[in-house]
Amino acid sequence: MILIGELKRVVPARRYFEAIIKHIPDQAFQIDDKLYRWMSDNLSDELELWGASADVLLVVAASFSARATGRPRIESLTLLPVSLQWLPVRDLEDLLRTQQLVRERRTFVVTSKDGVQVRRTPKCGSPRPKRALRTLQETTPRLTTSA
């Protein structure tokens, strides 16, 4: 199965580590020691950026399986540091630049490490068009009660 969500924390448990996901805080995901060491060695830049600023969130994309105990175990994962608007950031400088562009409500292009460009248009706080609201109200069935 696939998991995509915001990583809240990784904590040690008895014989493994547990990843807590913000969107499902009641369900911890097991991470074995080998995967935890790999994550610490290979994803250290992402983890350091996450720890450096409260304005950086860490999105986890993972494959997992359900164990006989009922607790899910992460088999493989990757981490993506993002801004509070879930826009990818590479470092603190990139975060500051992204925050400024979002504040100015500007459209901008994010270029990934492999050169792929993605157009971003921040929609933070944009009002809902009145026409769409009117259409939604017109198509919503009304409940009637008989007296």
pTM: 0.73
Give the pLDDT mean for 39-45. 95
Q: Are 99 and 54 spatial neighbours (Cβ–Cβ below 8 Å)? A: no
Locate 41 and state its tokens. Answer: 């060695």
What is the per-residue pLDDT for 124? 53
Q: Could you report the per-residue pLDDT of 100-138, keeping only the tens digit for each?
A: 989 988 887 767 666 555 566 555 554 444 444 444 444
Indicate if the pLDDT at residue 76 is higher than 70: yes
**Half-sphere exposure in the Cβ direction for 56 (13 Å, CA):** 23
Cα separations in angstroms, 119 against 111, 112, 122, 139: 9, 11, 10, 33
Please report, for the chain, the start and end positions of each structural domain, with discontinuous segments joined by +: 2-139
| Cα–Cα distance measured from residue 101 to residue 116, given in angstroms and rounded to the nearest whole number | 20
